[in-house]
Structures are given as structure tokens and as C-alpha cells.
Amino acid sequence: MNDKDLWNPVDPLGEALHFLRMNGVFYCRSEFTAPWAVAMPPIDHCLMFHVVTSGRCWLKDADGESRLLQAGDFVLVPHGQGHILASEPDVPADQLFDLPREQVSDRFEILRHGMGGAAVGVVCGAVRFDHPAARQLIAMLPRTICIDAANVPQTDWMQSTLRFMAAEARDLRPGGEAVITRLADILVIQAIRAWIEKDPAAQTGWLGALQDRQIGRAIALIHREPARTWTLASLAAEVAMSRSAFAARFTELVGVSAMYYVARWRMQVALTSLKEQDVGLGELANRLGYQSEAAFSRAFKRFMGVSPGAARRDGVALVR
């Protein structure tokens, strides 16, 4: 790699954000009238979001802490934890799935609930991310992220985006669900960017490493080319560092050794593919740089503790 590559590097954090393309589990346009409260159930492996399109309401998180949300606020609940939306914090909550809802499509519903008082409009969604880099990024996020669109530098475009999403949810024109999904992509990424920019926790660990000029580039290369025969020497050469300096800095910033990270990343890709794609073990072995299906299966079982077939059948969690 030449000096030009180092001074004009890829954007590893940007690449991780690029993988945040959401697959919608469901979306719901909610029309509430006070008093009301709805308990959102926990949904494993999903990020939930709420856009307050009109009025005001409260969000009570899994720890019981309440936060007032105003029109234009956008809140993420990244880890699929149960929480409550309510007209006031002390209103008893009804379970979401116990309430009658109008099903518009397989993934879009309308919920009308309340006792006829002050009106509130909310667009809600539960989405998942398929790419391992996206899941790793989501795992780093706090319990909730709330963006007050009225107090961010990008006020105009965020308010326009929120109004656009609200209009699409209200009118439900052909293609509206796809439009809402793409707008949600943008808003989720912006919310995560805002958190990264202001929260000291985002400057350490894996996220901090992504923002390091050399270690971030090495991580991006591992993500891009899992089949490449990576060694400490080859990774260090790619980022113009000595082998020993690279090894020490990678471990210091990321918390694991570079070669462990390579192996773990391959297993993340493998596990995602086994669970969500109809891919043969031979093809998967080739994608990840193993010489044979048997070599891949041995490596997978050594790392995961079960065979690829058992992981596909029973589901297992990736070790950290």
C-alpha cells in the first residue's frame, strides 16, 4: 500500500454504517388518544424505532426510566427490549398484540387506541439486520438513542424526512412501505452517527478501532475479504506497520488479537449464511477461504463447539 492509500483511506465506520440496510419485520402507523399506554413486547434480534409525527407521549424503557417525546423526535431501541409508549408515565399499559389492528399488508398495520383525549401520531417499526458487520455495530449501542430533530444541525432535512415518512404512513400510496423502509434507513443511520459523535463510549473498543486510520483499514479489509489468507504480516503490510506494532495496537484497540478477529469474523459470516441462506457447506467453505468442506467444518466446530449442520438446525449464538 502506498502513502496515498493511507492519507485517503476507506471509511471503515462508513462501511459498517453502509451495512445497516434494514429488513422490516413490521411497521405500524399508530393513532392514539389520551389516556393510553401500549407495552411493546421484546423482539429478539430486532431494532425498534418510533417517530412521533404529532403530539407528545412518554417512552418508558426496560429499566423503568421515562422520557418525554415531542413531535419530530426519533427514538431507537436497538436491542429489541420491551418498553412502553404512553400518554403519561403512570397509565396502565395494554399489550400491543392484544389490541385490534388494521392489517394493510403483510408488514404494515394501523393501530388506533385510546379514550378520545389529546391525539398523538407515531410511526413504529421493528427491523432486523442481516449483515454481520451491522449486527456487530448494533450490539455496541446503548439501550435507547433519542434524536430531538429540532436540536440537531441537520434540522431542516431531518424534519422534512420525518414529515415525508408521516405522509407516506398516512396516505399509504402504492410503494409506501418501501419508501418508509428507505427513510427509516436514513434516520437510523443518522441517529447512530449522532450517538457516535457525542458519546465517549463510541470512541473505545471496536467502534473506536474502526475510527483509527490504520487499524480501521485492517478491519475493513478483513470484512471485505474473509477468504483471503490473512496473516499478521500481510495485515500489517496492508496498513504500513511493522508486524509487532500492528499486533500490539490491534489487540489494544479491539480487545482481541488480529488473527482471532479474522477467525471470529469468518464464523460470523458463516453463522449468518447458515441461518439465513440456502447455501451448501462446500460453497460456504470456498467463500471463507477454506480448502475443503471438511476443513471448514473442523474450523467451525473448533470455534463454535457444534457442527455447521447443528448450527443451521438448532441455532447457536456466536462466541464473543
Angle, vertex CA 189, rays to CA 186 and CA 192, nearest 5: 150
Cell numbers at 174, concatenated: 402504492
pTM of the model: 0.79
- The conformation of residue 5, written as its DSSP 8-state character, comes to H
Cβ–Cβ under 8 Å, residues 191 and 74 = yes
Selection from 53, 16, 48, 12 nearest residue 31 by Cα: 53
Domains of the chain (ranges; CATH) run: 16-200 (2.60.120.280), 212-314 (1.10.10.60)
| Per-residue tens of pLDDT for the chain, all 320 residues | 444 444 344 688 888 887 777 776 688 999 999 999 999 999 988 899 998 989 999 999 999 999 999 988 889 999 999 999 999 999 999 999 999 999 888 788 999 999 999 999 998 989 888 788 888 889 889 999 998 766 666 567 777 887 787 788 777 788 877 888 788 888 888 888 888 888 888 888 999 999 999 999 999 999 999 999 999 999 999 999 999 999 999 999 999 999 999 999 999 899 888 887 888 899 999 999 999 999 999 999 998 889 998 888 876 655 54
* pLDDT (tens digit per residue) in 48-100: 999 898 999 999 999 999 999 998 888 999 999 999 999 999 999 999 999 99
3-state secondary structure 63-98: CCCEEEEECCEEEEECCCCCEEEECCCCCCCEEHHH
What pLDDT does 145 receive? 92
Q: Is 234 helix (H, G, I), strand (E, B) or coil?
A: helix
What pLDDT does 70 receive? 93
Residue 175 burial by Cβ neighbours in a 10 Å radius (0-12, 13-18, 19+):
exposed
CA distance 247 to 224: 20
* Alpha carbon 211 to chain centroid, angstroms: 18
